Amino acid sequence: MIEIAVVGAHLTGLALNHELLGRGGVFARAVGTRPCYRLFALAGGPPRRPGLLRVA
């Protein structure tokens, strides 16, 4: 097993979470985004697509 972090539609209960569960994924814990990152919406969808950008 390896740990990965997901955002957007792959989160628990959202539209694409089944893709992770179908491959044996297991929810481990919720975490927050550090203040040095900004979350924004990418073009396209649905589902809406998140982007993370590291800022100073």
Distance CA 19, CA 8 (A): 13
At 41-56, the pLDDT tens digits run 999 878 788 899 999 8
What's the pTM? 0.73
pLDDT tens readout for residues 14-25 = 999 999 999 999
**Residue 47 pLDDT:** 78
Q: What is the dihedral of CA 10, 7, 47, 22, to 10 degrees?
A: -10
Predicted local distance difference test score (pLDDT) of residue 2:
93
Question: Residue 28: pLDDT above 90?
Answer: yes
